[in-house]
Amino acid sequence: MSHPLQPDLQATRNPCLGAWAEPGRTARKGERSPTRYPRLGARHTFLLHAVLFGAAWLLAVPSASAHVVLAQKSAPAGSYHRAQFMVGHGCKGSPTVSVQVDIPDGVPVVRPQPKAGWALSYESGPLAEPAMVHGKPKTEGIRRVTWTGGPLPDEQFDEFGMMLFLAKPGRLQFRVLQTCEQGANDWGGGTAGGQPDPGLPAATLEVLDPSAHGMGEHSSHSHGHHHQQPEVSGGPSASGEPPVQPHEHRDH
């Protein structure tokens, strides 16, 4: 008879290890020892480390698709282009309340699109160099567009649009300041030392030379100066809204 303060030293079944745990008894052939765990081979150890490293890398590096980007990455020069800036997330979980887009040189005409639930404002100023628009020189234009409102939740995306006249071929980089209820993302703003921040790239548009890419005067993307309302590259947005038609060409 066992002592009342001592456990009963009877053979017991370990449900986790599937082996008999009994004092002074070693495991039989084919049984797993209740006091030892299986060792990982070199291959399994390597795979485990690879999985853990990959998971840590995914958590540390932001997804490229989450950047503020343009829905269409290229458009021909000498045409109007409907640009849609896609905002894919907030600021570390905080909702977006403002989207500010700075207009680079090479875009003399900007026509922002109003958006329900957001107040639209814009600032005008002199162009870095005069541009010819419909045969007339243009020296001033909209240089900054801001939508304020929302809020746009972190788990949702939306588009902010404007129509641009693309004066000449080249690469255009749009700085986008995304302000949230808590924090902000300065896409294309660079670091404190003035260097580009690879984690916060600017929204980029490649403006193509129509003659070099087989886009003649009658291309569906080109702007014919003899038409009252030219066709606009970019197409409808993901929300299904119809393209914005340009106003009469009375830009000064």
Contacts of 171 by beta carbon, 8 Å cutoff, 6+ apart = 204, 205, 206, 207
pLDDT at 211: 80
d(CA 127, CA 175): 17
Handedness of CA 76, 80, 82, 83 (dihedral sign): positive
Residue spans per domain, the chain: 17-60, 64-208
Identify the three-state secondary structure at position 153. coil
Answer yes or no: are the C-beta atoms of 16 and 33 closer than 8 Å: no
pLDDT at 41: 65
Along the chain (252 residues), what's the average pLDDT of each consecutive run of 10 residues? 52 48 57 55 60 46 63 92 95 96 94 97 93 88 97 96 94 96 91 73 92 53 41 46 40 40
- Determine whether 79 is exposed, middle or buried from the number of CB atoms within 10 Å of its CB (0-12, 13-18, 19+): buried
Domain at 64-208: CATH code: 2.60.40.2230
pLDDT at 119: 98
